[in-house]
Amino acid sequence: MAEQVMIVVGAPVEYGDKLLDAISSAGGDIIGEYTHCGFTSLGYGRFKPSESANPHIGDKEAINKQEEIRVESFCDRAIARAVVDAIREAHPYEEPVIYVIPLLDLDTL
């Protein structure tokens, strides 16, 4: 079994399907004959853009609270860079927060 990573990203709610499409197109979130295998949940992102920022949503120099969808997925470690690049291409934010978390292989524990 290849080493896997979990990939987590938040985005405006309407971008959830677009991000899952991007991840799958790059080879992520695939289990056997199933694609788009991810988990989503709703929550709030908080951020304060500087005067020099170019925010997709929200006001500069103010703390913003935005409803977002959290997309959790996975891929082989070997293609993680390609998956992250696909997420950045599909994501509307100037600086999306993307977590790449190594997963343990339970067969080796």
**pLDDT band, residue 1 (cuts 50/70/90):** low
- State what percent of residues in the chain have pLDDT above 70: 99
pLDDT tens digits along 27-45: 999 999 999 999 999 999 9
Q: Hey, where are the domains in the chain?
A: 4-108
Please provide residue 73's backbone torsions phi and psi, each rounded to the nearest 5 degrees: -145, -165
For residue 85, give the DSSP letter: H
For residue 75, give the DSSP letter: E
**pLDDT band, residue 2 (cuts 50/70/90):** confident
What confidence score (pLDDT) does residue 96 get? 95
Give the global pTM.
0.90
Residues with Cβ within 8 Å of residue 52, at least 6 apart in sequence: none
| CATH level 3 topology of 4-108 | Alpha-Beta Plaits (3.30.70)
pLDDT tens digits along 45-77: 999 999 999 999 999 999 999 999 999 999 999
Q: Where are the beta strands (DSSP E) in the chain?
A: 4-12, 39-47, 64-76, 98-102
The first and second tokens of residue 106, run together, are 């339970």
- Alpha helices for 1-109 (secondary structure H): 16-25, 80-90
